[in-house]
Structure 1
Amino acid sequence: MNPLLFRIPPLPHYIASGFNRYPPGYHHPNRQHIKVFDLLVVLQGCLYIGEEERRFMVNAGDALILRPDCHHFGTEGCREDTAYYWLHFQTAHEWPPLPGSGLDSGSSTEPVGGLPASFFNMSAFNLALPQFVTLLQPAKAEELLAQLGQLQATAHLEAVRFRQQVLFQEVLQLLAASVKPGQRGSQSTVCAEQAASYLRAHYREEITTAKLGDSLNFHPVYIARCMNKEYGCSPMEYLLRYRIEQSKLLLMQTGFPIARIAEEVGFNQAPYFSSSFMKLEGLSPREYRQRFT
């Protein structure tokens, strides 16, 4: 089953939550187009729920997210006493299921304070949540949901509403962390992510494709194929872009000369750094720095 894909920022936001306990025979309500995501976390018993053509048996320790645009209904009554938390949330972005062909990793280009988002590396990212999962830490999820319930009486206070959102983000982290490692991505995705992590950790050093391959125990050609599929660029292109992003931070935050900044981010020659910066950013390092003075 494909997970639900959320584009961030902004983060999905908490709306309301509660706790239900029902005797045997209870049927989940028959509803359509409820306009919000409905997260169900079962503590005791089992819920028997349908969503369009899909069927779920949500046992104790399981979590299920029902979509805003679907028909939900009970497929049969509970067979025993059943207790569960429910939580409504929504997002400002579109949220289609994760397509089998991979994620759209395009960056946001909305202006921030008169400057393009690329000036601050403010690219959006994806949060994939399992629609149905057995929680790795059900007790922790129960604790967080109980805290949300306790805050309901004071939810008219600004500070409390902020606390609700913080607790909700912790719930999302638990859901995301409950996905089994084998379900997180293909071997090519894992290879690309490992390569990116290595390049980001060692960007100040001299790196070659051969050195990268030896470090990861993958053939350089395979690494390049994986990174092109996942990030749309070769390892060396990824490294160059990351070095330029790090140089932008130094240009804003320090008074270092351009030559020192080039050295700090892994360039052997300042002229090559300046020409690479101009090619990627459309202006020189000095002109970029002047934007903030």
Structure 2
Amino acid sequence: MSLLQFTVPPLPHYMLCGLADYGIGGRHVNRRNIEVFDLLVVREGCLFLGEEDRTYEVGEGCALILRPDSYHYGTQGCDSYTSYYWLHFQTMGSWSVTETELPRQGQEGLEPYDEMNTKALWSYETHTFQIQVPQFAKLLHPGKVDELLGQLIQLNQSFYSSSAKWSQQALFQELLRQLSLSMAGEESSPAAACAEQAAAYMRKHYREPVTAQQLGEQLNFHPVYIARCMQRVYGCAPMEYLLHHRIEQAKLLLLQTDYAVTRIAEEVGFNQAAYFTSCFTRIEGISPRRYRQRFAYG
């Protein structure tokens, strides 16, 4: 597996992204030395691509990063309708391509945390390290990646807002982390599969009342098992995940529309505007109205 290895700091930075599609027979354009990294994430269908002497079939839930210094080309037309995200990013630091994965914590080869390392940590020098992301991967959590890319696209509408740019960079770093997680080879984990199903159901039905019991009935898993899987994979309980997703959808409506806060609360599944405002303020640190002003005029 080819890995893209970046020396950080500085961290790779987000530039722009969008959503595109091809009908049957549509084919990716041929390009050479595009000077930016081009991340492609397929939502539906399949892209048939080549980079130099390697070819890829990028199917649903898969991601491919095209390098800035290579020749890219479509190997054949799409055999079905294909929808995909594209994202351009770049780095001011050094990077390389390797087949060797960095050792994980606890593996042989890591330097011990001894007195010498402690002194190095407390010095005033900038210490660089390496991060790796797979050039091609089947995403471990495609729903989470889809959610992050959707938020990045929506923030493009506030391109000249410094607050929006800051948020986009933070979202992009989480996106890189999700790509890195796909190297772990846990795609077949029952816990990951259960958590992804639960998350997908809640993202689809966030406008409706959803309970733990209902979630269990829909997925045919015990609610306690679902909660354990969600905690392990997403780091939160199902209802907490649902709350955060509703808040994210509310943020998009605050940026995209001039709807009143009361209507936005209803649109994203809250019965009471006051409760919505309370939850939003607790999670985001500012009220919905202040959030709208911040990104509209930031």
Give how far 1:2 is off.
Answer: 2.7
2:95 maps to 1:95 = yes
1:287 corresponds to:
none
1:60 corresponds to:
60
Give how far 1:120 is off.
Answer: 3.8
Cα distance, 1:172–1:49 mapped onto 2, change above 3 Å: same
SS at match of 1:34: coil
Give how far 1:62 is off.
Answer: 0.2
Aligned partners of 1:127 and 1:14: how far apart in 2? 16
Match runs of 1:15-30 below 5 Å: 15-30=15-30
Match of 2:132 among 115, 128, 133: 128
- Contact 2:3 / 2:100 at 8 angstroms: preserved in 1? no
1:194 corresponds to:
none
Match runs of 1:61-76 below 5 Å: 61-76=61-76
SS at match of 1:79: coil
- Contact 1:98 / 1:128 at 8 angstroms: preserved in 2? no
Which segments of structure 1 move beyond 2 Å, counting only runs of 4 or more? Answer: 98-103
Give how far 1:121 is off.
Answer: 6.4
Aligned partners of 1:52 and 1:97: how far apart in 2? 14
How much is the aligned-residue C-alpha RMSD, in angstroms? 2.4
- Contact 1:3 / 1:98 at 8 angstroms: preserved in 2? yes
2:166 maps to 1:165 = no
**Residue 69 of structure 1 aligns to which amino acid in structure 2?**
D
SS at match of 1:147: helix
| 1:127-179 Cα deviation digits (max 9, x unpaired) | 11100000010011001100111011111011110000001011001000011
Aligned partners of 2:122 and 2:85: how far apart in 1? 41
Match runs of 1:1-293 below 5 Å: 1-98=1-98, 100=100, 119-120=123-124, 122-181=126-185
Listed as ranges, the gaps of 5+ residues in structure 2 are: 104-109, 112-119, 187-298
Cα distance, 1:101–1:84 mapped onto 2, change above 3 Å: closer
When normalised by structure 2's length, the TM-score is: 0.55
Listed as ranges, the gaps of 5+ residues in structure 1 are: 107-115, 183-293
**Residue 132 of structure 2 aligns to which amino acid in structure 1?**
A
- Contact 2:64 / 2:136 at 8 angstroms: preserved in 1? yes
**Larger radius of gyration, structure 1 or 2?**
1
Between stretches 89-98 and 164-173, larger displacement belongs to 89-98
